[in-house]
Structure 1
Amino acid sequence: MQYLKVTEYERIPRTEQNRKLLSRIQGFDETWCGSGREPIFDWYDRRFVRARNYVGVIAVPGGSIEILPKIDKSDEPGKMRAQHNLLYMLSMTRKIVGEDRDLATIGTQKMPLLEQLIVLFAARTLSELKRGIDHTYVTQEENLRCLKGKLLLRQHAAMNALHRERLYCRYDDFISDTPINRILKAASRRLLFISKAASAQKKLREILFLLDEVTDLEVAEHHFADVHYNRNTERFQPLVNFSLLVLKGMSPTWTMGKENSFSLLFPMEQLFEEFIARYIHRYADQLGLSRECIHAQAIGRREWLLKRESDSCGSYRLKPDLIIESLPGKSCLILDTKWKHLLSDAEDAKNGVSQADIYQLYAYAHRYECPDNILLFPYVDGVSRKSYVIQGNYCNHRIRVEFVKLNRDLRTDGPAFRDEIGKVLKADKVA
């Protein structure tokens, strides 16, 4: 069983040792691209294979590869921090199950990323099932030897004229064979097939034992539409959401089959954007913000950049990553995250920030009449914050280029990270 750990855009040498695993990964990547998605790796160089912008894990027969965000040095301690931070980001954005205490527990164990994800899911699922398995009432009609529920006289007379020992009844049965339990069972069975860690396997087998009376189902995406939550079942929602990722990560299709390739992959640009938005929303009080005035993805505040002259219909929808209002309907700050590793000040006075990104912020500033507009990048050595004022007498808006340091343990070093975010949001003037 071969195991590789790389960071984004890191090159993997095509050595004889890696040949078989890379061949299987390439087959997986071709299947992945066949469904209309961007490739996970670049395969053009005969000497190397280069990871792209996805992070997560791919498991294929004979091995697995773990792709981590490029936020630290590529040595083993740096990759360990990147792994912990990736788990924290996935937890913050609710793509995996697990709270801070769960991450603290597995953070002390040197396990591959895939096994950590499985342990988190198994531990949380087992805990929720022990609190109480999901049940529902189902109406049944059956010919019984004793009265149960309501006797249906007409059907009883027709069916039991010669069988006085029988009673045809209608009753409500309290069963555990629900859509939620079917999905959790299917995901647990799939993960048991993948996991190599004894602790995870033990928990998954216990889950399957508790759900023994639940129908074994080859779950497809449409089965998730059958799930409805209420006050008693909403605690299962994160587990069902993760199960969707697990079952969609099966390759090449949703069927169990003999193919045991598997993936959990996330585009890093989207993950970084969602992480920053959720982090600011969670710690709004500590950052001196009101949650009601924070609009991720500009929900409730989306605008059109232009209108067609012919019919006044809007064109070119604007969707900033984050809008923060000073008053309802009054934008005071727009923040757009960019997952890009910039150049140092010595290499480029503009740090490699693209004109397209600046133009995009200019459009936001003009359309939303927003005085403060931020491009937020991950910090790299040698960069400094920049502030630009839009030219013209019609406004005094500014565009800032800011950074946050991710090469720290985001969970344990939370206060320092929040302080840094707070300074970005409240900065009055930068160079």
Structure 2
Amino acid sequence: MTHLTVYEWGPTGVHNDTGAAPKNAFTRSQANALLRAARSHTLANQSGTNILVDRYSELRAQQVVGVIAAPGCSLEILPKIDSGVAEGDEAIRTRLMSMLDVALGLKLGDGQALAMARQKETLLDILIRLFTDRLLAEARRGLPRGYMSQEDDLAALRGRLNVIRQFTHHAVRPDRLACRFDTLNPDTPLLRIMKACVLLLRSHARALETQRRLDELRFILADVSDVAIGALPWTQVRIDRTNRRWESLYELAKLFLKREWQRTNHDARAAQGITLLFAMNDLFEAYIAALARKALLGTDLTVHSQSGLRYCLMEECEGGRPRFQTTPDILIKRNGQVQLVIDTKWKLVGQNPEDKKRGVSQSDVYQMMAYARLYECREVMLLYPHHAGLGADGLKAAYAIMKGDERLRIASVNLTTGKQVVQQQLAELIAPDVAGLEVDA
């Protein structure tokens, strides 16, 4: 099993000769398998070049993070916003696990995940072990069962009589009764998904203890039907009070299984692999939105992500339609009125101290000016991840928008400080009192 780790935009070697590849490179067949798996993911464009770029002698990751696993190989892609600071893979992996936990609501808990990250486990190893341990604990407590309709020919009546079958097949057999009845059965849509996930993860688990636990789960789920991943009954799953404790497990199973089958052009060969990939722009936005909600609990401010949906233009004709719909990353509202629009950007800014614009893109400024106008909001903000080049205090600046009373604020949050500190930073940024920000004319 060849496993390599790279960072966003980073390369990994490909050995194109027929001989065995060195330890720091994939063989050509392994590279092709990873490329097929990348193309099968819902994030991928038609050729998958927004995830992995094949440059013959190397594969280069793009702005995604996560794991691509194929038979005999896996590639882990980690985020790294600050190339000027030396950090170990364990610290970066721990931070990524925390971001995924918060953004996706996986309820992983810090203790076990962080401990495994420090033991140099890969992201895939960590998620497989967390899923396995939690599923095994719940299975030992008892499997959720559901009433399922069955039909059988019995000597005594059970449930209801199937009249048509009784008077056709058993017209001369009064000793046999065609019965229809409901039985409590563990072979439910939820457990079929769990079993499919167990079978998939068994082929990718590297730790012997994890493999042993997955084998135990296969034995516990022996009475549950085997269903191909492409035919899993996602729409039939119902989470209610009887199986609420399985909800986070269901979300984890979707993370492992469902993303490949939201496309009609998936590659059947890629189904043997796992692609847990996240666009860093989207992950950063979801992480900030989730922590902002926690930061504003108990206040009259509410957080709305990927909402708004107002249009920029209206056609000047009879029956004209609106055009160019907007979707701001985060809206902060009070009593239904937008107080602040936040647009998150996963990019480096402020690297050049002589740049008075602090590296902010002109197109981003135009976008925020449009948001201020469309959402009738006096405060708009561009929010970036902090890096060492911004100094200890981070990025805090404000600009008055010309010909109006709106203001654009530019700020950064330090992700290395932990989610509690990030939450506090967001509370201070979103609070109405903005005294102390540097204002540029």
Contact 1:72 1:78 in 2 (8 A): no
Say whether residues 1:391 and 2:402 are aligned partners: yes
Aligned with 2:425 (options 420, 423, 428): 420
- 1:158, CA displacement in angstroms? 5.1
Matches for 1:62-141 after TM superposition, within 5 Å: 62-72=72-82, 77-94=87-104, 96=106, 98-141=108-151
TM-score, normalising length from structure 1? 0.86
Contact 1:248 1:254 in 2 (8 A): no
Aligned with 1:358 (options 365, 382, 405): 365
Query: CA-atom RMSD, angstroms?
Result: 2.9
CA distance in 2 between counterparts of 1:31 and 1:107 reads 25
Superposed CA offset, 1:339-391 (max 9, x none): 11224142533232111111111001111121111100111223332211001
Contact 2:91 2:118 in 1 (8 A): no
Contact 2:67 2:124 in 1 (8 A): yes
Aligned to 1:203: 213
Contact 2:383 2:412 in 1 (8 A): yes
Say whether residues 1:55 and 2:65 are aligned partners: yes
Contact 1:97 1:124 in 2 (8 A): no
- 1:192, CA displacement in angstroms? 0.7
Aligned to 2:356: 349
SS state at 2:234 partner: helix
SS state at 1:93 partner: helix
- 1:249, CA displacement in angstroms? 6.0
SS state at 1:134 partner: coil
Aligned with 1:315 (options 305, 323, 327): 323
Contact 2:332 2:339 in 1 (8 A): yes
CA distance in 1 between counterparts of 2:116 and 2:337 reads 44
Say whether residues 1:430 and 2:423 are aligned partners: no
CA distance in 2 between counterparts of 1:365 and 1:153 reads 69
CA distance in 1 between counterparts of 2:145 and 2:267 reads 26
Aligned to 2:30: 24
Say whether residues 1:263 and 2:275 are aligned partners: yes
- 1:263, CA displacement in angstroms? 1.7
The 10-residue stretch of structure 1 (18-27 or 3-12) with the greater mean CA deviation from structure 2: 18-27
CA distance in 2 between counterparts of 1:131 and 1:125 reads 10
SS state at 2:256 partner: helix
Contact 1:144 1:167 in 2 (8 A): yes
Q: Specify every segment of 5 or more residues in structure 2 that has no aligned partner in the other structure, as ranges.
A: 16-20
- 1:428, CA displacement in angstroms? 3.2
Contact 2:50 2:63 in 1 (8 A): no
Contact 2:7 2:77 in 1 (8 A): yes
- Per the alignment, do residues 78 and 290 of structure 1 end up closer, same or farther by CA in structure 2, a change over 3 Å counting? farther
Contact 2:37 2:273 in 1 (8 A): no
CA distance in 1 between counterparts of 2:140 and 2:279 reads 35
Superposed CA offset, 1:371-416 (max 9, x none): 1111001112233322110011xx31110111011234x2xxx332
Superposed CA offset, 1:131-151 (max 9, x none): 432222122221113342345
CA distance in 2 between counterparts of 1:429 and 1:75 reads 28
Q: Report the AA paired with residue 320 of structure 1.
A: P
The 10-residue stretch of structure 1 (304-313 or 232-241) with the greater mean CA deviation from structure 2: 232-241
SS state at 2:108 partner: coil
Q: Report the AA paired with residue 304 of structure 1.
A: Y
SS state at 1:202 partner: helix
Contact 2:12 2:25 in 1 (8 A): no
- Identity within the alignment, %: 31
Contact 2:67 2:74 in 1 (8 A): yes
CA distance in 1 between counterparts of 2:270 and 2:63 reads 29
CA distance in 2 between counterparts of 1:349 and 1:221 reads 56
CA distance in 2 between counterparts of 1:283 and 1:103 reads 23
Aligned to 2:377: 370
Contact 1:386 1:401 in 2 (8 A): yes
- Per the alignment, do residues 130 and 347 of structure 1 end up closer, same or farther by CA in structure 2, a change over 3 Å counting? farther
The 10-residue stretch of structure 1 (215-224 or 96-105) with the greater mean CA deviation from structure 2: 96-105
CA distance in 1 between counterparts of 2:97 and 2:361 reads 30
Q: Report the AA paired with residue 285 of structure 2.
A: E
CA distance in 2 between counterparts of 1:109 and 1:24 reads 26
| Count of aligned pairs | 417
CA distance in 2 between counterparts of 1:350 and 1:290 reads 34
Q: Report the AA paired with residue 425 of structure 2.
A: E
Q: Report the AA paired with residue 317 of structure 1.
A: Q
SS state at 2:233 partner: helix
Matches for 1:152-167 after TM superposition, within 5 Å: 155-156=165-166, 159-160=169-170, 163-167=173-177
Aligned to 1:8: 8
SS state at 2:382 partner: strand
Q: Report the AA paired with residue 334 of structure 1.
A: V
Aligned to 1:273: 285
- Per the alignment, do residues 4 and 207 of structure 1 end up closer, same or farther by CA in structure 2, a change over 3 Å counting? same
The 10-residue stretch of structure 1 (137-146 or 179-188) with the greater mean CA deviation from structure 2: 137-146
Superposed CA offset, 1:46-85 (max 9, x none): 5x54321010011233332211111455888432111011
SS state at 2:353 partner: coil
Aligned with 2:191 (options 173, 181, 206): 181
SS state at 1:309 partner: coil
TM-score, normalising length from structure 2? 0.84
CA distance in 1 between counterparts of 2:13 and 2:166 reads 75
CA distance in 1 between counterparts of 2:389 and 2:422 reads 19
Q: Report the AA paired with residue 132 of structure 1.
A: G
